[in-house]
Amino acid sequence: MPYWNAKPAPMPNIGSKYGRKATWVGASGDQTFLRIDEALINSHVLATSEIFASRHIIGHGGGWGYSAHSVEAIRFCADTDILLGGLGLFGGRGEYTAKIKLFELGSDGGDHETDGDLLAETDVLAYDCAAREKYAMMFDEPVLLQAGWWYVAWARVSGPSSDCGSHGQASITTDDGVVFQFKSSKKSNNGTDVNAGQIPQLLYRLPTSDGSATKGKQQVSEPVHILKRSFARSVAVECFESLLSILHWSWTTLVLGVEELRGLKGFQYTATLLDLERLRFVGTCCLRLLRVYTCEIYPIAASTKAVVEETTKLAECVGKTRTLLRKILSEGVDNCMTKLDNDPQGYLSQPLSLLEAVLQECHNTFTACFHSFYPTPALQWACLCDLLNCLDQDIQEANFKTSSSRLLAAVMSALCHTSVKLTSIFPIAYDGEVLLRSMVKQVSTENDTALAHRFPLLVSAMEKLSQATVVPPNYPMSLLCSAMTCGQRGDLQRPLGDLLFDQPKGLNRSEENVSGMTSFREVLEKMLVIVVLPVRNSLRREQELFSSHLVSNTCGLLASIVSELTASALGSEVDGLNSLHSVKSSPNRFTKTSQGRSWNTGNGSPDAICFSVDKLGLVVVGFCVYGGGGIHEYELEVLVDDSENSAEAGHSHRWTSLELVKGTYTTDDSPSDIAEIRLDKAVPLKASKFSEDSGLTSDFRMVNTQIRRTKVQTHARNLCSPNMKLSDGAQGVALELKFLVENTKYAVRLRNYGSRTANGDGGMTTVQCPDGVTFTFSSCSLSSNGTNQTRGQIPQVLYYRSEYDGDLQSQLLSKANEEDKNCSRALSVVNAVTRVAKDLLHRALAVDADDIPELLSSSSLFSMLLPLLIAYIGPVAAAIPKAAVEVFGLVQQLLPSVAILNQKYAPPLFNPNQSTDSTTGNQPEQLSACTTSSHYAVVESEHPYKAASVMQFKVSFPECVRWISVEFDPQCGTAQPEDVLRLLIPGRYAHISGFGPKLPIHESLSSWVELKKFSGSSGWPTAVLILPGNEAMFSLETASDYVKDEKASFYGFKCFAIGYEFSQALDEGIIQLEKELANLGSICAAALMKKDLALPIGSELEEDLEIVEEAALQVCKTHSGILGKGLALSHSPTILEALEGNLPLQIQSNEQSFLEDFITCVPGSSGGRLARWLQPDSYADPQKTSLILNKDDIRCGWPTTITVQTKDQYGDVVHVPNMKVEVKAVPVSQKKTSLQQEQVKKLPRIPGSPSTSASLGSDMTFGGLPSPKLDASYEPMIVKEARYIAITMMKAYENYSFEELRFASPMPKRPQSPFQGCAHCDKALDHTVTRGMERPSENMLIRVNNDGTYCANWTPGAVGLYTIHVTIDGIEIDAGLEVKVKDPPKGMIPPGTQLVKPKAEPQPNKVRKFVAKDSAGLRIRSHPSLQSEQIGIVKVNGTIAFVDEVITQ
């Protein structure tokens, strides 16, 4: 069948729907030829039997819904023999998937319906049809049906709601005269019966006596071939050679054509350009076919079976492919690029884009086939070393961007693939001759051995092509170096100097040539040169040496190395311990599985089974469980029976939990209704009996080993028994060993939450595995949901086997040692990158240019490599304290330089709402920490939602949005497990770094990736989900409502979607790096401040640390409220302030003033009132103190008694022992100054207001000037040859008038005045000093009465006004008592005195007695000094006479 000018589009009337299949496609010129294979039985050839009358078909638009286990079925019988070709099905609302079956019931099937025999069935097929139409689904072969026999037409449909039929007829006669009878079937559970539902058509034809068709003519055609994957991808040597020839011709012609375009214009230019476009298409197709064929012969996955068996010729063809691709990548477009300077019109821009497209496809093909081009780690390592050597020569010859750059970028991109194990390629753990010997050993590693055994011919051909052979163990090292290293090693110009690795001293030239590029240290140095030199040249404004793709791929390779090392250091590489062995599954212990999903999970009711094994070294890693529709939440626990160790061994089991795992699984996880559940930790098992040749005694105890990593331990401790020894290299690992006794019985308990599942029947007691292991199953007392050894759940066990128990322990120890070493190796690589980055930052600080941040941010080192290393090394620092110390040191090396650089080019303006980085500017574009967004949407379904429907909601924000947060309403839920909400995000095509534009993303349903799905009333996210990108889709797919539960939740869903922007400027890369480094430093600090951090300390310090820890806990418990407030900082410290240790403490704040008032109980303040209220007990209040005296009887020179009463806060007299009470009388003239000071003290304190000293300075007593100091000595002043004797001419008093100086002088005695010597001043001050002589303050003697009162005795010395001041324990009461002292009456004697004749004073006693306890005597020295000579001793109770007594002050 010829077609003219055919375009890529669906061909009309061709496909399984029409019974016509295209089996061969050909093309010639503008014609396309199709060979059509038309089936004898199809929807167009067969007669159609309508179950429902056409005029009664209703329900278009979603009247019939489906669930995961809904079945449509109908019984029918024909009165004549027919050939049934298929069934007609309703559709009309989208895409559906269906599977049909045909069952035979027999002649009596109309009265009694049995299960029947299956005659035919189809696979699950997808279909769609328009509304009001039916889709014809055909069996592979027509089925002959006997007249009068009953059959069941069975169909399982899934998808959105569809059309349906109604008003069905129980009997119908077709145009052929065939009478069909119909009855409902018990197999139908979705409502289909005679009256309404699905299956509107039976597609049949009448057979003839010879079995040929009655309709349609016979067609005798040539044999045809069905287009299958094996036919389309069949590979032959001739095919390879033809593709290589076409590719070589197209590439060579394309390069020559681009060069010939320079002299062409007009029509010739256009015609030649079209020819070049065809060459590009041919070359691209050849490269894609080569990539497909190579991967078909040599698949990259070890588990994938090769489609074509390898031969020597095919291996040689792969080698030729490698050679040609290397040649294309080496040539590149550099020669053409040099001629663009003479192309002002841009005629070569479009042709060069064609070359770039072919090179990009060549890059993709080389990286995809790299595993077959270099099948062994040794070849891959030699290839990388060879290219780095060539790049070294290019640097010496200043031949930049040439042959090796593009090829090296492709090799590094291939090494970054996730299937490549870099630690098996890069000799990270070796150096020198140890490295070379390890390369010989490397051929026998597990991966290399598997690949070599799978494709030995390929390995031989590639080694021969690379001029590298497998070296015997005794092969000389010098010859090995020359064989592994292609070409001589050139001297790399080392611009980094001491920043990169220092070469070992003492090596001569011959030794360097021998070693070659064979150590990881040298390769790392070369890679760092590639990364660093472009940044350094940019700072120098010099030409870039390498392409950006080579630099980015080098950074990606370095990051991949660190990623693999850190994954190994954390023990998370390749499924943990399970990576040591291949996991196997035991045969199903049930002989058959139920057809329907009828097993009730019991909403978490436990299903359990006991089992035991008969072989040693068995380790369980998981179990298989039956699945069903919807989402199932499970809890699986492995237990061991310890009853043998207890006294109740003969009566009951005593179960001890070994491992517990929780999670969910869905229908997608159980394709055959069986889902695998893996344990988090492997559980070793003890054999119940031993084989005779095991050589082990019956009291053998197997060890259940669990690794608990503790990096700070100084040695490995043996926690199992004194007889077990651990290797000396197992530092940092502690093994917790649990012994399991002989004849141990294990149990597995499953708690399942979800809809009904399938189950097994016909269980077997013992199951033997292919490797000879026998599992014995028995009933378990823990099972309460019906599972036993005969029927129920848990059909299979996942396990692996180690030959001996000791091997497992040694493997675990070896793995732990390797993890410790990989941690150190990862840190060494990060340390090397940190050193070169620190040097570049110092150089950038020395350069004065405005575009320095942009240059550094655009480099792959600071925008790609360092952020990736920070992300990979962060979990290591959080888990291993020793690594956290080293990583913290690396942060301290980089963070100050980065912070200073950001501060230099973006001076900070304080903003309290800004994040803690050094560039806290208040420009709107810099406030990236903003948590509000103007992009938001509310997505919700109908409440309640519709049954049997599909509703899709798409959220699309502008392209500036980088991620979306989704928060679900707590009311979300569906009534049945089949009602599912699917959350989808756009699929992203993986774009390989290289040349050319990105691949377009077509918007279609297939481009959306399902992220999560939710159903039921549980399992809905309570936290906010963060989605990448700016689009999301919510698809709510519901089935028919078969639950009929009024209490079920038909709410549907409602969520809030918020889009967040992130538009990073060109110069913000360093700012983001500062934040990343600060976050890494906080991770390290948090790891080092853990409570359970084990420190390597001595036993003598443990007790002290316990005391300190208890004291710290007590302080935190007592003052948790105050300590929880944090530090009183004026703002969040910047990075520089944190590094320097200068915290911005808040000098004055309301909180600080309140605390001061609270502590000192300042009256009238809120803090003081709170302090008083918190202490309701009685206490002495100085302000409540009262004075009792008679003011009228106070006379000068007469004694007076003043009574002081101390009272509490309630006004009651209170006595406080040892209270210090002081009373003094202050003249009123001196009180003025003190009152002024008191008023200043009582001024309200406002935070941030000036101090009291400043307010005193504003006193206008001396015209705003401070009070003059009177300590300056008088001297005459000479000004302009004139001698002045006035004191106001002195420098100290030139701003004061004479009256001000007189007012400020308090001295009553003239000789003490600074004005002495001035005759003019003496005369002026005579009257003033005599009249203004001030009275002194008078202190009183206090007598304590021990009843809350104190008596003060006062004899006034002068007449005038006094104020009585009382001070209690240093606190002066606010209000003093003012009294007036009067003159005494003349001639009267003061009260209490009488005239008596004075007696002679008695002579003082000059005899003393020495009285003391516990003393040997009183020393007598020659001089009153402790250094003088002792001349005697006065014993206790002895007496001494003296002449004179001197009392020292």
Q: What confidence tens digit (pLDDT) does each residue in 878-929 have?
A: 988 889 999 999 999 999 999 888 888 865 544 443 444 444 444 444 444 4
Alpha-carbon distance 918 to 399, whole Å? 42
381-385, 595-599, 1361-1365, 1390-1394: segment of lowest average pLDDT: 1390-1394
Band of residue 1312 on the pLDDT scale cut at 50, 70, 90: very low
Q: 1139 or 1440: which carries more pLDDT confidence?
A: 1440
Q: Is residue 457 predicted with pLDDT exceeding 60?
A: yes
Q: What is the pLDDT of residue 955?
A: 93
Please, what is the average pLDDT of the chain?
Answer: 75
Q: What is the pLDDT of residue 1259?
A: 61
Helices 312-331, 237-260: inter-axial angle, 10-degree rounding: 10
How far from chain centre, in Å, is Cα 807? 36
| Bridge partners for 609 per DSSP | 748
Q: What is the pLDDT of residue 1070?
A: 86
Which residue, among 41, 48, 39, has the nearest Cα to 14 in the 3D structure? 39
Q: What is the pLDDT of residue 1265?
A: 84
Region 232-240: mean pLDDT is 80
Region 261-279: mean pLDDT is 84
Q: What is the pLDDT of residue 188?
A: 92
Region 936-947: mean pLDDT is 91
Structural element, H or E, at residue 1331: helix 1319-1331
End-to-end CA distance of the chain: 134
675: its two tokens: 């889902």
Q: What is the pLDDT of residue 609?
A: 94
Buried/exposed 1020-1049: b ≥16 CB within 10 Å, e otherwise: beeeebebebbbbbbbbbbbbbbbeeeebb
Q: 909 or 1271: which carries more pLDDT confidence?
A: 1271
410: its two tokens: 């492709």
Asked, as a colleague might, if the bond just before 1424 is cis with ω within 30 of 0, I would say: no
Q: 427 or 1334: which carries more pLDDT confidence?
A: 427
Buried/exposed 715-737: b ≥16 CB within 10 Å, e otherwise: ebeeebeeeeebeeebebbbbeb
* C-alpha Rg value of the chain to the nearest Å: 50
Q: 234 or 456: which carries more pLDDT confidence?
A: 456
Q: Is residue 624 predicted with pLDDT exceeding 90?
A: yes
Q: Is residue 972 predicted with pLDDT exceeding 80?
A: yes
3-class SS of residue 521: helix
Q: What confidence tens digit (pLDDT) does each residue in 332-358 have?
A: 665 554 444 445 455 567 888 888 899
DSSP 911: -
Separation in Å, CA 1286 to CA 843, 1294, 1308: 69, 10, 21
789: its two tokens: 């050894």
How far from chain centre, in Å, is Cα 1324? 89
| Bridge partners for 38 per DSSP | 20
Region 1400-1413: mean pLDDT is 78
Angle at 48 between CA 44 and CA 49, to 5 degrees: 165
Most confident of 734-743, 1100-1109, 1219-1228: 1219-1228
3-class SS of residue 1221: strand
Alpha carbons within 13 A on the beta-carbon side of 1069: 19
Q: What is the pLDDT of residue 1404?
A: 73
Which residue, among 653, 649, 625, has the nearest Cα to 637 in the 3D structure? 625
Q: What is the pLDDT of residue 452?
A: 44
526: its two tokens: 């070369």
Q: What is the pLDDT of residue 1113?
A: 81
1110: its two tokens: 């208890």
Residue 1016 contacts residue 630 (beta carbons within 8 Å): yes
Q: What is the pLDDT of residue 1221?
A: 92
Q: What confidence tens digit (pLDDT) does each residue in 644-668 have?
A: 554 444 456 778 888 888 888 887 7
DSSP 909: -
Region 1171-1179: mean pLDDT is 83
Separation in Å, CA 1167 to CA 75, 612, 1170, 1173, 1297: 91, 73, 5, 10, 46
Strands 47-50 and 171-173 turn out to be unpaired
Q: Which residues contact 357 (CB under 8 A, 6 or more apart)?
A: 280, 284, 996
Structural element, H or E, at residue 663: strand 655-665
Q: What is the pLDDT of residue 225?
A: 54
3-class SS of residue 601: coil
Q: What is the pLDDT of residue 625?
A: 92
Region 1194-1210: mean pLDDT is 89
Helices 548-569, 520-539: inter-axial angle, 10-degree rounding: 130
How far from chain centre, in Å, is Cα 941? 33
Band of residue 231 on the pLDDT scale cut at 50, 70, 90: low
Region 610-636: mean pLDDT is 86
Residue 1132 contacts residue 916 (beta carbons within 8 Å): yes
Region 1215-1240: mean pLDDT is 72
42-51, 131-140, 695-704, 736-745: segment of lowest average pLDDT: 695-704
Q: Is residue 705 predicted with pLDDT exceeding 50?
A: no
3-class SS of residue 783: coil
Which residue, among 205, 230, 218, 222, has the nearest Cα to 36 in the 3D structure? 222
Which residue, among 1228, 1256, 1229, 1254, has the nearest Cα to 1240 in the 3D structure? 1256
Q: 756: how many CB neighbours lie within 10 A of its CB?
A: 17
1281: its two tokens: 């040859």
Alpha-carbon distance 337 to 358, whole Å? 16
Q: What confidence tens digit (pLDDT) does each residue in 1134-1167 have?
A: 777 777 777 777 767 787 788 888 888 887 889 8
pLDDT over 70, % of the chain:
71
Q: 1307: how many CB neighbours lie within 10 A of its CB?
A: 14
Q: What is the pLDDT of residue 518?
A: 66
Region 865-879: mean pLDDT is 92
Q: 721 or 1342: which carries more pLDDT confidence?
A: 1342
Residue 1106 contacts residue 1099 (beta carbons within 8 Å): no
Q: What is the pLDDT of residue 579?
A: 46
1414: its two tokens: 């516990």
Residue 1091 contacts residue 971 (beta carbons within 8 Å): no
Q: What is the pLDDT of residue 1425?
A: 80
Q: What confidence tens digit (pLDDT) does each residue in 507-516 have?
A: 233 223 333 4
Which residue, among 712, 1085, 1088, 1142, has the nearest Cα to 891 in the 3D structure? 1085
Alpha-carbon distance 664 to 230, whole Å? 37
Q: What is the pLDDT of residue 48?
A: 44
Q: What confidence tens digit (pLDDT) does each residue in 996-1043 have?
A: 333 333 333 346 888 888 888 888 998 999 998 889 999 998 887 766
Buried/exposed 475-513: b ≥16 CB within 10 Å, e otherwise: eeeeebbbebbbeebeebeeebeebbbeeeeeeeeeeee
380-384, 1268-1272, 1395-1399: segment of lowest average pLDDT: 1395-1399
Q: What is the pLDDT of residue 263?
A: 73
Band of residue 818 on the pLDDT scale cut at 50, 70, 90: confident
Band of residue 623 on the pLDDT scale cut at 50, 70, 90: very high
Q: What confidence tens digit (pLDDT) does each residue in 105-121 have?
A: 988 888 888 888 999 99
Q: Is residue 365 predicted with pLDDT exceeding 90?
A: yes
Size of the chain, expressed as the number of residues it contains? 1449
Region 1252-1265: mean pLDDT is 59
Q: What confidence tens digit (pLDDT) does each residue in 37-53 have?
A: 665 444 444 444 444 33
Band of residue 453 on the pLDDT scale cut at 50, 70, 90: low
Q: Is residue 1317 predicted with pLDDT exceeding 70?
A: no
Please return the burial class of 647, using the count of CB atoms within 10 Å of its CB with bins 0-12, 13-18 and 19+: exposed
